[in-house]
Amino acid sequence: MADEITGTTPEQNSIPTTKVQRSAKFVKTGIKIGGNYIKHYSKKLFNPDLDKSELNEDNAADIYQSLSELKGSALKVAQMLSMDKNLLPQAYVDKFTQSQYNAPPLSGPLIVQTFRKYFGKNPDQIFDKFNIRSTNAASIGQVHKAELNGKKLAVKIQYPGVGDSISSDLKLVKPFAFRMLGMSEKELDIYMKEVEERLLEETDYELEVRRSVEFSNACANLDNVVFPNYYPELSSKRIITMDWLEGKHLKEFLATNPSQELRNQIGQALWDFYNFQQHELRAVHADPHPGNFMITPEGNLGVIDFGCIKEMPEDFYYPFFSLTSTNLLDNKEETIKAFRQLDMIHKDDTPVQIEFYYTQYKDMISLFAQPYITDTFDFSQTAFFDELYSFGERISKMPEFKQARGVKHFIYVNRTNFGLYNILHELKAKVKTDTFKPHVVLEY
């Protein structure tokens, strides 16, 4: 019976077990990518006009395939890579954006087991209703719908052993990140270490519940931003229970063709949410990928994930955000001092190098700071983003920027702000940018 249908669930088809198997997975990807190049060049022999987008698409599909089979931290890296649109060709971006929405789920019995372990009860004994099939993946876990006392809840459950595999997964991702991002090894190391720290924090669900409560209280007064309630008594090291927020993800929201007014409202909420945190709390929700937000039917922005928080120490905050003020940036001497403090200019740089990096970074920052300079900013304008991307591209080709520059805090702060800019751009929102202003120091 060759045509019989096997009655399997799509869940858990194959998650490579050991490090060796995971390595094998990556090697396989490498081989496949090699194959894609061969395919590309043999086609090109006959059709010299062929552009690289098909090749990129093939590669992205294979990388995504292998990352989603690995689950956990590797998937997280896929999500991170998809944040930096300017660093990646469009085909990679599209594939990686998928990873923000789905990954293979855990088995039902493992869900039951996790509950028994932390609460001594089955989920159906704790909740009035509990859907054993998950509704969304959360990259290091998955989300289930539940009900208790007439309230709809979202229950996030973490995959066991995620923490342990993070470090080894990152080592496996390294050669690929290396090739795809074209960074120097030293730069990549700083990056990887910072990423590893944040990722490990994300596996601590008790910490996440504490932070979620803390941040949603601190941000409670912001207009049009809503948070679910969290239930610490129904949460544990591997389980988080919170209110189920009704709403649409960004893509679905945009598909409904919302009015400019509504888009501005959501955009403003996003801007306020991020800039209030950055400038008043000095710690920021550093995971602005669209999967972490919901747009509610009332036109509010719902924030549903506080797993990744980046705290900004003063010795980073002041020099960096002061640069967004024209007053400082016009003062060359003080600007160079700030650059030095941020390790963008090294102490053994020659005068020629200092001049070079000063000019480049000044250009970069005045570009980045544009939304801060005026009172309102229209994020729909493509010109600004084109300029941003082409600047990024130009920089990435300069041999001077192959070496590590800038303190590690840039990684998440840049990711946060570029992520924010990107979402605002997709929203085509016009935003009042003077609601929460950076605190500035004019002298160093």
Partner 1 sequence: MATIESIQSAYIDHVLTEGEQPKSVYIFAKHNEMSEAEFYQFYGSFEAVEQGIWAGFATKTLAEIRAQEVWEGYTSREKALSFFYGFFELLKSSRSFAVYSIKKQPKGFTTPKVFSPLKDIFEGFADEILKEGIESTELSDRKYFSKKYKDALWIQFVFVLNFWINDNSAGFEKTDEAIEKGINVTFDLFQRTPTDNLFEYGKFLVQNGGIKDKMGF
Q: Which residues contact 414 (CB under 8 A, 6 or more apart)?
A: none
Q: Which is nearer to partner 1, 32 or 439 (CB)?
A: 32
DSSP letter, residue 300: P
Among 52, 117, 151, 332, binds partner 1 (CB under 8 A): 117
Q: Are 77 and 195 contacting, i.e. CB atoms less than 8 angstroms apart?
A: yes
Residue 380 as a binder of partner 1 (CB under 8 A): the answer is no
Least gap, CB of 101 to partner 1 (angstroms): 23
Q: Which is nearer to partner 1, 105 or 290 (CB)?
A: 105
CA atoms within 13 A on the CB side of 209: 20
- CB atoms inside a 10 Å sphere around CB 74: 27
Closest alpha carbon to 58 in 47, 42, 77, 79? 42
Least gap, CB of 136 to partner 1 (angstroms): 20
**Element (DSSP H or E) covering residue 328:** helix 326-329
Q: Which is nearer to partner 1, 110 or 200 (CB)?
A: 110
Residue 140 as a binder of partner 1 (CB under 8 A): the answer is no
Q: Which residues contact 128 (CB under 8 A, 6 or more apart)?
A: 146, 147, 148, 149
Q: If you count them, how many residues does the chain have?
A: 444
Q: Which is nearer to partner 1, 153 or 407 (CB)?
A: 153
Distance, in Å, from the CA atom of 50 to the CA atom of 85, rounded to the nearest integer, reads: 23
Q: Which is nearer to partner 1, 11 or 194 (CB)?
A: 11
Residue 399 as a binder of partner 1 (CB under 8 A): the answer is no
Q: Which is nearer to partner 1, 7 or 150 (CB)?
A: 7
Residue 10 as a binder of partner 1 (CB under 8 A): the answer is no
Query: Tokens standing for 340?
Result: 């030095």
Q: Which is nearer to partner 1, 159 or 320 (CB)?
A: 159
Least gap, CB of 74 to partner 1 (angstroms): 16
Residue 315 as a binder of partner 1 (CB under 8 A): the answer is no
Q: Which stretch binds partner 1 (CB under 8 A): 30-38, 117-125, 208-216, 394-402?
A: 117-125
Residue 106 as a binder of partner 1 (CB under 8 A): the answer is yes
Q: Which is nearer to partner 1, 71 or 405 (CB)?
A: 71
Residue 281 Cα to chain centre, angstroms = 20
Q: Which stretch binds partner 1 (CB under 8 A): 111-119, 173-181, 267-275, 413-421?
A: 111-119
Least gap, CB of 6 to partner 1 (angstroms): 5
Least gap, CB of 110 to partner 1 (angstroms): 5
Least gap, CB of 13 to partner 1 (angstroms): 7
Pairing label, strands 129-130, 141-148: antiparallel
DSSP, collapsed to helix, strand or coil, labels residue 167 as: helix
Total residues contacting partner 1 by CB under 8 A comes to 27
Query: Tokens standing for 280?
Result: 């008043």
Distance, in Å, from the CA atom of 242 to the CA atom of 237, rounded to the nearest integer, reads: 14
Among 10, 109, 297, 351, binds partner 1 (CB under 8 A): 109
Q: Which residues contact 142 (CB under 8 A, 6 or more apart)?
A: 103, 105, 106, 134, 136, 156, 157, 159
Residue 19 as a binder of partner 1 (CB under 8 A): the answer is no
Among 10, 17, 149, 333, binds partner 1 (CB under 8 A): 17
Residue 8 as a binder of partner 1 (CB under 8 A): the answer is yes
Least gap, CB of 144 to partner 1 (angstroms): 12
Pairing label, strands 283-285, 309-311: antiparallel
Query: Which bin fits 327, alpha (ψ -120 to 50), beta or left (φ > 0)?
Result: alpha
Question: Which residue type sits at 441?
Answer: V
Among 110, 218, 262, 364, binds partner 1 (CB under 8 A): 110
Q: Which stretch binds partner 1 (CB under 8 A): 4-12, 68-76, 249-257, 367-375?
A: 4-12
Residue 104 as a binder of partner 1 (CB under 8 A): the answer is no
Residue 26 Cα to chain centre, angstroms = 22
DSSP letter, residue 325: S
Q: Are 304 and 242 contacting, i.e. CB atoms less than 8 angstroms apart?
A: yes
Distance, in Å, from the CA atom of 33 to the CA atom of 55, rounded to the nearest integer, reads: 9
Binding mask 145-174 for partner 1 (x = CB under 8 A): ---------------xx-------------
Tell me which residues touch partner 1 (CB under 8 A): 2, 4-9, 12-15, 17, 106-110, 112-114, 116-117, 122, 124, 132, 160-161
